[in-house]
Amino acid sequence: MKVKNRFWPSAMCVYSGRVCEGYQTPWTFVDSSTFVSASKQRNTRETSQTRRHRKTLKVQENAHASVQQGLQPSLNPSRESLLARPSHDDFIALVVRNYVPKDSVTSIDNDLHFTKEPRICGAWVEVLPSLRSGRGGTRNLVLTAAVEALATSILTQKLYPNRDNIESFQSYELALRSLRKSVTVDQRSDVELLASIMCLSLVELMMPSTSVALEAHLKGAGQLFRAYGADACKAGVLHTLFAGFRPLLLIDAFQLRQTTFLASPKWIDVPFSICRASSMQSLLDKGAIIPSLLNQSDNLLDKAHEEGNFDVEARDLINHLVTTLIDLENWEMEYCQGIDRQCYWPSDRSELPLSKTSISQDKPLIYTSVTMANVYTNLWAFRIICLSELERFICYFPYYDITHDIPSHPLNLKHAKEHKIALAKQICLSMEYLLQDEMELFGPASTCFPLQIAYETFLENEVGREEEISFVEGVVSRLVRKGLRSAPVLVFARRTMRTV
């Protein structure tokens, strides 16, 4: 049928929310025999469409069944609720309970209230309940699918550890389709997309895949934040999401050795001009410049063999690396003086049961909080990276004499290797604390970047470091058993530092 030069869209497209150009075939009159043949073909097509539709519904039902199986003990539902499909609030509650460390959640009721103390751990989860309004509308379909995909992945890993599960992959695929349509067709750029990307990034961590998809998610999130601007991230949902995404975006810049918008003064000062920054966010202020320095180093060393005088550029870059090390040292001293208490200490068996693996019988470290463990493991990783880059750079420009001193630690590159090994060991001694069961998914996930830097450090000096390398391999195996199946790729395959 054609009215005013336009075709009516199909009923299926209208029902499913798709956009189409309508029925393009004009009306024709046929005899009864032709009609019977055409009717059979149409019934065959309809049967095929019905089978595909039923298959999709079956996938969703299987995913919901897995989630319901996991929800039963955690939510303690009544007999009636066991027969009902889990609600969106159920999925959110499950994600919170299995992602946020137990010491970070003060209470979880129907409104899912959280502590207002600034934290890095689970910060983004806080926005999920506030985005649940209008859950039946098109606007939140992508977030609903992403939350369900994350909940399904969490539960299938609990029910079937370290095994491929069709429900996880298919629920993730459905969420990706929804996200892709929202971006490419609907051209959305709202906060629900950012929350959805964070959920799907976590799903990626639980899949035995390369880091390419994770990098794509983070690239999309970075573009969305830049489109909003730093001023929009000062308060509200966008601020909370920015605080949650910032460590991941910065770590991605470290891995790629690329300049990041997070290093600009505007993005350092403005987002936390109203809301108080956590200790980890304060550390990231100091570390945000490092990926830019790594990128400058690569560019300069790539042309070092060419004819020309690069003395001024080389001297400036070395001074920037030294200044960054001094800033990190000063930041730690000022922070410790400000809180006036011990941040970590060696454990005894009553505080933290020792695992079968250890490093030269050293005692694991205990921290005052999971945030403090994140602060120090990343601080030590930042220092290792800067020291490694200085070593690499001085090999190309050996005639430079570094006279700067880091307070209490003279910057003598002759002992840089020993200093790096000591810092890498400190990172490893922090793993036992972050891998405790009460750290849920966040604690283990936060270990990947520091652990990767420690692993690289041991590989640089592989002879005589077999014990430390074996320890890291054991930690990665534990991460996989905890559901982070991408850990071998994130720790063993990535390289942030460059050798000479």
Instruction: Summarize pLDDT for 197-221 with one digit per residue, the tens.
Output: 999 999 999 998 778 889 999 999 9
**239-275 pLDDT tens trace:** 999 999 999 999 999 999 999 999 999 999 999 999 8
The better pLDDT of the pair 310, 94 is held by 94
Percent of the chain whose predicted confidence (pLDDT) is above 70: 71
**289-305 pLDDT tens trace:** 999 999 999 999 888 76
CB 491 within 8 Å of CB 446: no
Name the residue type at position 42: R
Lookup result for tokens 């929310």: 17
d(CA 10, CA 23): 7
* Domain spans in the chain, listed from the N-terminal domain onward: 2-34, 52-250, 289-493
pTM, entire model: 0.79
- Per-residue pLDDT, averaged over 383-397, amounts to 89
d(CA 485, CA 476): 9
**347-361 pLDDT tens trace:** 875 566 555 555 656
**10-34 pLDDT tens trace:** 333 433 344 544 434 343 334 444 4
d(CA 219, CA 253): 10
pLDDT of 118: 42
Q: How far is CA 165 from CA 49, 69, 169, 348, in A?
A: 25, 15, 7, 39
DSSP string, 204-235: HHTSS--SHHHHHHHHHHHHHHHHH-SGGGSS
d(CA 476, CA 447): 10
* DSSP tag of 104: G
